[in-house]
Amino acid sequence: MGVSEPDPPYARIVAEIRRRIADGELRAGDRVPSTRQIVQEWGVAMATATKVLTTLRRERVVHARPGVGTVVAASGAGPSVPRRRRVREPEELTADRVVRAAVEIADAEGLSALSLRRVAAELDVATMSLYRHVGGKDELVLLMSERVFAEDELPEPAPPGWRARLELVARLQWAIHRRHPWLVQVMSLTRPRPAPNAMAHTEWALRAVDGLGLDPVTMLYIHITTFGYVRGMAVNFELEAEAEQDTGITDEQWMESQGSALTTILASGSFPMMARLTARLDFDFDLDTMFEFGLNCVLDGIGVLIANHGK
């Protein structure tokens, strides 16, 4: 009598998550472990963790919810046997659907969770059918960035004055990063890629400071400075999204949990300035408020540069 082979690691993890759902530990709408959490909890490779979530999606046990992550579906118990995949005909598939699905995955779980196989699973098509529309993951990510940059149009005519125009484009980029935290990984200051929708923002910023007597290098540096400031602050969106996925707590909850330790450190006398200031004000680590403060400082500095140019 032969000895049965043990289930592969991904199947055991799938079974465990299904058990948690069946026992009510995870209910409809609850977030299931992310790929990073699966790697940490079960000590498996990222590829295995991805296969776990892909399997659960195919069984309709879970689905991706943009801005939240992978959650238990309304009929979370799912079928006991995986359903046979229905492969759609290639003509039913479009580049727009592929890119839209990829953006939803990245919004919900981060860019690290994105792969062509994962997108195919989300669309319930064969992975190879995607290559009729995208050349690979790099091209897909570029198309994703172009899609999100096209979500909000830069208004024409532009508002009067260089400052109002730079404020507008900076705040628009900030809103795009807020909706799509993964975008910060794609945009590069040193290795920009040809992307017309993103380049339209560069064109807007350059036009904002055109006609002020600035040389071309200074004009370009002004754009890079404002763009770099937005991108630098937007890194926190991605870090917060990853931290919330890994820990399951929000930034407000995390700050509350650190209160006692912070009070002890400040009471030690090693940081008198911080202790004095924090005792006198109620500071809120709100990214939008901090962004606006910093943006005003950046634009004030640009204003001084423009005023002193040629003196």
Q: What's the pTM? A: 0.69
Tell me what pLDDT residue 68 has: 65
pLDDT in tens, 126-175: 889 999 999 999 999 999 999 999 998 898 888 999 999 999 999 999 99
Residue 121 resides in a domain: yes
Tell me what pLDDT residue 88 has: 41
Tell me what pLDDT residue 310 has: 62
Same domain, 213 and 289: yes
Tell me what pLDDT residue 169 has: 96
Residue 264 resides in a domain: no
**Count of domains in the chain?**
3
In tens digits, the chain (311 residues) has pLDDT values of: 444 556 788 888 888 888 888 888 888 888 888 777 787 788 877 667 777 887 888 788 888 775 567 888 886 544 443 444 444 444 478 999 999 999 988 888 888 889 999 899 888 888 899 999 999 999 999 999 999 999 988 988 889 999 999 999 999 999 999 999 999 998 887 777 888 999 999 999 999 999 999 999 999 999 999 999 999 999 888 777 666 666 665 656 656 666 677 778 878 888 888 777 777 666 666 788 899 999 999 999 999 999 988 66
Domain stops at, among 149, 172, 197: 149
Same domain, 186 and 199: yes
Residue 270 resides in a domain: no
Task: Give the domain range for residue 231.
Answer: 162-248+281-308
Domain stops at, among 65, 83, 101: 83
Tell me what pLDDT residue 230 has: 96
Residue 243 resides in a domain: yes
Q: Which CATH number goes with the domain that contains 38?
A: 1.10.10.10
Tell me what pLDDT residue 29 has: 83
Tell me what pLDDT residue 149 has: 94
Residue 259 resides in a domain: no
Same domain, 42 and 121: no
Same domain, 214 and 296: yes
Tell me what pLDDT residue 159 has: 92
Asked whether 176 and 152 are in contact (CB, 8 A), the reply is yes
Same domain, 294 and 216: yes
Residue 117 resides in a domain: yes
Tell me what pLDDT residue 11 has: 85
Q: Which residues pair with 31 in a beta bridge?
A: 71
Tell me what pLDDT residue 85 has: 45
